[in-house]
Structure 1
Amino acid sequence: MKSQWKMFYMCCSVVSVGVQVSVQADESPLFVEVTRGALLDTSVSTFTSESVAQKPGSDMAELLRSVNGVSGTRMGGRAIDPIIRGQQATQLNVLLDGAYLHGGCPNRMDPPTTYASGDSYDLVTLFKGSQTVLYGSGGSGGTLVLSRHKPVFNEQGYAATVTGVARSNGEGGTLSADVATGNDQGYFRFKGEVADMDSYEDGNGDIVRSAYRSRAAALIVGAQLGENTDLTMSYDRNEERDVLFAGANMDSPESNADIYRVKLEHRFDSGTIQQMKAELFQSNVDHLMDSYSLRDKVAGMYAPSSSDTRGGRVIFDGWLGAHQASFGADYQSNTRNGLVYSYPANMPMGQLWPDVTIEQVGVFGEVNRTLSARNRVKLGLRYDYITADVNNENDVFMMNQTAATLYGATPEQQREYNIAGFTSWQHQLNQNYQLEMTASRSVRTADATERYMAKSNWVGNPWLAPEKHHQLEWVLSNTDKSPWSLSAYYNRIDDYILRYRDSSIERYRNVEAEIYGVEFEHQHRLNAQWLLNSSLSYTLGNNLDTGEPLSRISPLTARLQALYQSGQWGAGITSSLVASQSEVCLASSDCAGLDVTPTSGYGLVDLFADYRLSPAVTLAAGIDNVFDKTYRVHESRDDVFDPTPLQVNEPGRSVWMKLSGKF
């Protein structure tokens, strides 16, 4: 087994420039050979669980912040909220092994990636932009698919991986295990993780409220019902305890998530249809946040909430003549409830979600055809019928208010009939150069918070129109011995859902907007031991109604990396350079946006190394933020209701060590 942590860094840049990587269960190659002379899919990045999990992170989104064009907001040590090309929250589709999960906090203390550690899933597939219609409606910013596969057993009929991580800054770590037993006819698999971290220090040596405790476990059972039929059932339990948030006026003493899944897969021996997959899921989140129990206060607020999602899909894969096709239907229903109470009076002060249900029924199809040795086209089309209802809009809370009075009228059921699709053309200019062009339309419905939040200082808009994203993307790539990729994209958005501040009240309205940018990635192998990677991303966003910038847009970011591998040893250095961000929409200005302040640029250096102690055991170590810089990610969160808000600083210097064994 070669050095595994390096695979994560390489996948971030190499796969997205069109390199096809095949990683076996027992091998993670350091230097990936480039597939030449063939059309490549440049729209998708894939990562194995081993490669993603090697660099320690609090959750999946923190790990993916190393991918070019991907960022993430920070409120504390846990629950990084991913951003892809300037889009976030429900502009992204996140599937946890086929299941949708919507968090229990309207302020996104628990986005879906909170409930997914690096070791929880076997494969991560990342679509940037609107490149597929197979994974639900919306997805204008991108789609993140986390999946699990049937385990590969040794001769004794079992497979086991145990990993331990310790970190100095925050004085804590994680312990995870993945144990499976079975054969071709069936298997049992258990995944578990325990994580405990104290609050970290920033580069100034100041303590940042960021401690958390997390427990996660999953039981997966697989059975072969017939020669061509497989059944998989799974149950996940995630528990978050005493999670502190420097970027909010509340913490989360407790949050629980339960996910149930049933999957049936059948392969046909002959005929047009080659494969059928049917999936059902149920995810339940119970969340509690308050402003006193973890802050040594005798009074404050608390807010219990729930978010229950159920759904499923059926999809068929096959050939229609010379066309490779996938088509099917899906369903999703999310119900959310939440109230805010004063403490210790226990009086209702507002509604997070007044018994809100949003249902989506969709039908979809994709067709892929190779026109010639140099040309390939891909088409996708999707239709969604969406309804949004609220039931407790007339319940009375503080000062005889109701949700309906805050909205200005009693909302009726909202219905939407949304059509989305894309067309992509790949053309190989010659043996080494490939051009890809994609045009797409995606439609994102307003989420429960944007529609129905009902507090005196935060009010939703039940009559929001859905966002219509019209995107163009061009990718020029070179798959020679030193592969590179240059991407440019433009996204014109009708009815962009803008969150803004109106006389100290957070509100939502539709505006016209645009988001555009460029990305560049390059890899160069110096010799058999040294590999160089570089990447750059730049995004801009504008409110076309006012001419002001959109809030929380990533600044120009570049990364340079050198990797070394020789025998049992590996080492590397990564330098990240981030420009200042002055194109802002400040909450304190006439723009009334969500940016706290312009942010300064910064440079970081990370070091890492590993040593293969035996064929099964690897020891890795590293130093993040070697020079103990004080910095903050521009998009990171603040307490939007604080009169003097401050963004959350990132951790200062941190030494980490990771020991993993695979048996």
Structure 2
Amino acid sequence: MFSMAAAAQAEAYLETDAHAEAAERLDAIVVTAQAPEDGVAWETDPKLPRQPVPASDGADYLKTIPGFSAIRNGGSNGDPVLRGMFGSRLNLLSNDGSMPGACPARMDNPLSYVAPETFDRVVVVKGPQTVLWGPVGSAGTVRFERDVARFSQPGAQVMGSVLAGSHGRRDALVDATAGMAQGYVRLSGNTSESDDYKAGDGQHVPSLWDKWNADVALGWTPDEHTVLELAIGRGDGEARYAGRGMDGSQFERHSTSLRFEKSGFDGALEKIEASAYRNEVDHVMDNYSLRAPNPMGSMPMPMVSNVTRLTHGGRVALEWQWRNWQLEAGADAQNSGHRRRGGMGIDAHLEQHWNDDAELRNRGVFAEARFHAGGASHWIAGLRADRSSALDLRADSGGMDHMHAAPAKHDADHDEHHAVHTWGREREHTLGSGFLRYEWRGDAGMSAFAGVGHTRRMPDYWELYSPQAGPMGAHDAFEGVQPERTTQLDIGVNYRSQRFDAWASAYVGRIDDYILFTYNPHATGGHGHSLPKHGAHDGHDMAPANRADNVDAGIRGMEAGFEYRALDALKLGATLAYAWGENRDSGAPLPQMPPLELRMSAGWEAEDWNLGLLWRVVNEQNRVAVGQGSIVGQDISASRGFGTLAINGSLRLGQLWRLSAGIDNLFDRAYSEHLNLAGSADFGYPADRVRILEPGRTAWMKLDFRY
């Protein structure tokens, strides 16, 4: 299980004597996260082995934190979901910068470009309970972070790992840092690949992937209070999708960031932070690189779509402290531009000109304060104001660029073959957010918190440009979809003792103008494929394949867990997560809500080895809104419950090496997740919306090294 000591150990490893400290204990394999230390924030070390063995994307790493799930489409690049909320309701950052994907159907969601093991920690804040990191995520904020390396004398640290498993799984990672008191250089890189997997019933599921990432950071540390760091990164890959009409044949990223930190001032000023970033993704989708075009489907000929998105921005923040007060305040900015090209024929996009279609901007100011009220009481409050804008550059239909990049059962094309009424129009909104939270920490291991937060969220790229229709009375979504307004109460309690830890958190919220997608069941072509608005080939008009509306919604749910150390070496634990949502306008359920999930674990932890069991039990989900959802997916039908058992173990090999191994889905059960896509007819799935099955029995082994 994960503990906060693991995060502290990850930081310690960057010191010159880190390898000696790391050898003191063997961390158990992460199966489910423990309680947060400060009420709403969770922290985990992504370098630790996990079970079930995660895919190559960041979404799979988050699923060990209660409340997280992912919209699955087989293999890699699942889209993260927190408490039933998805898309930009979840603020996703890496190195404090934003890297949104480019596909109009989020084939390349932001975590598709994140290699989690190349980061030092993942920090999660649930709910609208912080205003520090760009436009507030109404569901929460997730930050993948790398530490600053500091050396008191010349030295180096190296860590690496290799992983092999069923279905051709092969991963490798290296992360090396060298430096002296005045500076450092850090090199990290990874590769991850897998073949298609077999489900528990022996069914072949198209799901292969092959990815790589490489990053270098150069840091200048003239004294113990100052750092200036330049980081440059690249990556690429490909992935086959059982639930989409196209595959991802390119996931190229170029990342550059610069950060400056200065502390050690006299007086109230504690610290100055400044950062800037430039992230560009170049994504190619086609139906011929990783599959053969289906002559009986809606795309019988080779087709390709190429989309890019360039996002750049920065942040400046200052921290002060006076007696019982702490204050962090600053400003941030972000610009993001989207363009596209494509056509019919192999590599046809290379002969086409780029068409810009969107520009999005945000400017924000923020302040977050903490007040120690005496004794065990603390008050935390934050305010934020954003000026957000979106410019529509879709001058014409642009051809076949986005056709069938969406999941196979619906189409996310927003402008193919029809005039764009909002060309040249710019939308601007001033949006306010804030929260107030009370925290109490007792002397007997008890702590509790209660906080209320409010945020207004600008519709994102996928909500403004991807739908083919907007609310009634509007020409399209760009014109008619309004910002969401979320007000949410979060409460929690935490207890820690020598033998027993327990925690629970709950939330209740109201979302006004919730952005809801509705898919037209008559807009699908034969064999389960969706057709663009005016037909794939014959030009005959059809009803819009999807529409975005604003509705009022209510949400509530809870997460809870415990860990009992029955013996010095024996640990028993469990976590429970439940999310509920309702469309208050119609009384129907909100779509894409994960079902009740229970994880129970048992582990025996000796000094140099450990063994563990994970039993995952997921309830059926009957609260569905068939044909409604998000740009990523829609409710297909009610889903059945399931249970899976996994075993794991790890062994220290000397002071530097650790061997970990596990078997997921030990009894080879055939099951599917509720948040899922329906299989594409290109791979033989029938037209009646069949969910993609999860992997069957999967064995894996990981060897890691740290010096």
Q: Given the two structures, how large is their TM-score scaled by the length of structure 2?
A: 0.84
Question: Match for residue 301 of structure 1?
Answer: 303
**Equivalent position SS for 2:267:** coil
Shift of 1:172: 2.4
**Separation in 2 of the partners of 1:31 and 1:395?**
54
- Counterparts of 1:266-285 in structure 2, within 5 Å, are 266-285=262-281
**Separation in 2 of the partners of 1:289 and 1:402?**
18
The correspondence for 1:490, drawn from 497, 502, 508, is 508
Question: Match for residue 608 of structure 2?
Answer: 568
Shift of 1:194: 1.3
Asked whether 1:475 is paired with 2:492, we answer yes
Kindly provide the amino acid, as one letter, of the partner of residue 88 in structure 2: T
**Separation in 2 of the partners of 1:277 and 1:571?**
43
Shift of 1:257: 0.6
**Separation in 2 of the partners of 1:454 and 1:87?**
19
**Separation in 1 of the partners of 2:342 and 2:546?**
16
Q: Do the aligned residues in 2 keep the contact of 1:10 with 1:533 (CA within 8 Å)? A: no
Distance 1:653 1:396, change over 3 A: closer
Q: Do the aligned residues in 2 keep the contact of 1:353 with 1:453 (CA within 8 Å)? A: no
Question: Match for residue 644 of structure 1?
Answer: 688
Tell me which protein shows more strand as a share of its residues: 1
Q: Do the aligned residues in 2 keep the contact of 1:92 with 1:140 (CA within 8 Å)? A: yes
Question: Match for residue 325 of structure 1?
Answer: 327
Distance 1:342 1:456, change over 3 A: farther
Question: Match for residue 466 of structure 1?
Answer: 483
**Separation in 2 of the partners of 1:573 and 1:305?**
43
Q: CA RMSD in A?
A: 3.0
Kindly provide the amino acid, as one letter, of the partner of residue 283 in structure 2: H
**Separation in 2 of the partners of 1:351 and 1:522?**
57
Distance 1:147 1:89, change over 3 A: same
More deviation, 502-511/413-422: 502-511
Kindly provide the amino acid, as one letter, of the partner of residue 416 in structure 1: H
Asked whether 1:661 is paired with 2:705, we answer yes
Question: Match for residue 4 of structure 1?
Answer: none
Distance 1:248 1:226, change over 3 A: same
- Counterparts of 1:202-217 in structure 2, within 5 Å, are 202-217=199-214
Instruction: Name the count of aligned residue pairs.
Output: 636
Q: Do the aligned residues in 2 keep the contact of 1:164 with 1:659 (CA within 8 Å)? A: yes
**Separation in 1 of the partners of 2:675 and 2:108?**
17
**Equivalent position SS for 1:49:** coil
**Equivalent position SS for 2:47:** helix
Distance 1:413 1:431, change over 3 A: same
- Counterparts of 1:176-575 in structure 2, within 5 Å, are 176-226=173-223, 228-241=225-238, 243-297=239-293, 299-343=301-345, 355-394=357-396, 397=399, 405=418, 410=423, 412-428=425-441, 431-453=444-466, 460-481=477-498, 482-502=500-520, 504=523, 505-575=545-615
Q: Do the aligned residues in 2 keep the contact of 1:56 with 1:165 (CA within 8 Å)? A: no
Kindly provide the amino acid, as one letter, of the partner of residue 123 in structure 1: R
Q: Do the aligned residues in 2 keep the contact of 1:249 with 1:639 (CA within 8 Å)? A: no
Distance 1:640 1:485, change over 3 A: farther
**Separation in 2 of the partners of 1:20 and 1:207?**
38
**Separation in 1 of the partners of 2:424 and 2:131?**
30
Q: Do the aligned residues in 1 keep the contact of 2:47 with 2:119 (CA within 8 Å)? A: no
**Equivalent position SS for 1:51:** coil
Q: Do the aligned residues in 2 keep the contact of 1:489 with 1:518 (CA within 8 Å)? A: yes
Query: 1:83-136, CA deviations, whole angstroms, 9 ceiling, x for partnerless residues?
Result: 111111111111111111011212222222222223110111011111110011
Q: Do the aligned residues in 1 keep the contact of 2:151 with 2:181 (CA within 8 Å)? A: no
Q: Do the aligned residues in 1 keep the contact of 2:153 with 2:181 (CA within 8 Å)? A: no
Q: Do the aligned residues in 2 keep the contact of 1:354 with 1:452 (CA within 8 Å)? A: no
- Counterparts of 1:566-605 in structure 2, within 5 Å, are 566-587=606-627, 594-605=634-645
Question: Match for residue 140 of structure 1?
Answer: 138
Q: Do the aligned residues in 1 keep the contact of 2:415 with 2:468 (CA within 8 Å)? A: no
**Separation in 2 of the partners of 1:655 and 1:107?**
32
Q: Do the aligned residues in 1 keep the contact of 2:49 with 2:660 (CA within 8 Å)? A: no
Distance 1:223 1:106, change over 3 A: same
**Separation in 2 of the partners of 1:347 and 1:266?**
47
- Counterparts of 1:144-163 in structure 2, within 5 Å, are 144-151=142-149, 157-163=155-161
Asked whether 1:621 is paired with 2:661, we answer yes
Q: Identity across aligned pairs (percent)? A: 27
Shift of 1:229: 2.2
**Separation in 2 of the partners of 1:410 and 1:359?**
17
Question: Match for residue 76 of structure 2?
Answer: 78
**Separation in 2 of the partners of 1:588 and 1:520?**
29
Flag structure 1 segments of 5+ consecutive residues without an equivalent: 1-8, 33-38
Distance 1:204 1:403, change over 3 A: closer
Kindly provide the amino acid, as one letter, of the partner of residue 618 in structure 1: R
Query: 1:195-226, CA deviations, whole angstroms, 9 ceiling, x for partnerless residues?
Result: 12101111111111110111110011111245
**Separation in 2 of the partners of 1:117 and 1:530?**
33
More deviation, 42-51/192-201: 42-51
**Separation in 1 of the partners of 2:170 and 2:152?**
29
Distance 1:55 1:602, change over 3 A: closer
Shift of 1:244: 0.1
Question: Match for residue 44 of structure 1?
Answer: 41
**Separation in 2 of the partners of 1:512 and 1:605?**
39
- Counterparts of 1:19-98 in structure 2, within 5 Å, are 22-23=8-9, 24-25=12-13, 26-27=21-22, 30=27, 41-51=38-48, 56-58=53-55, 59-98=57-96
**Equivalent position SS for 2:136:** coil
Q: Do the aligned residues in 1 keep the contact of 2:52 with 2:646 (CA within 8 Å)? A: no
Question: Match for residue 18 of structure 2?
Answer: none
Distance 1:323 1:347, change over 3 A: closer
Q: Do the aligned residues in 1 keep the contact of 2:7 with 2:45 (CA within 8 Å)? A: no
Kindly provide the amino acid, as one letter, of the partner of residue 367 in structure 1: A
**Separation in 1 of the partners of 2:497 and 2:485?**
38
Kindly provide the amino acid, as one letter, of the partner of residue 499 in structure 1: F
Distance 1:301 1:526, change over 3 A: same
Kindly provide the amino acid, as one letter, of the partner of residue 464 in structure 1: V
**Separation in 2 of the partners of 1:56 and 1:100?**
26
Q: Do the aligned residues in 2 keep the contact of 1:517 with 1:540 (CA within 8 Å)? A: yes
Q: Do the aligned residues in 1 keep the contact of 2:469 with 2:547 (CA within 8 Å)? A: no
**Equivalent position SS for 1:87:** coil
Query: 1:396-425, CA deviations, whole angstroms, 9 ceiling, x for partnerless residues?
Result: 547xx9679556555621011100000001
Flag structure 2 segments of 5+ consecutive residues without an equivalent: 14-20, 30-35, 294-299, 401-413, 524-544
Query: 1:575-600, CA deviations, whole angstroms, 9 ceiling, x for partnerless residues?
Result: 011000010011299xxx92012110
Q: Do the aligned residues in 2 keep the contact of 1:539 with 1:554 (CA within 8 Å)? A: yes
**Equivalent position SS for 1:632:** coil
Q: Do the aligned residues in 2 keep the contact of 1:461 with 1:507 (CA within 8 Å)? A: no
Distance 1:485 1:588, change over 3 A: closer
**Separation in 1 of the partners of 2:182 and 2:231?**
17
**Separation in 2 of the partners of 1:165 and 1:257?**
24
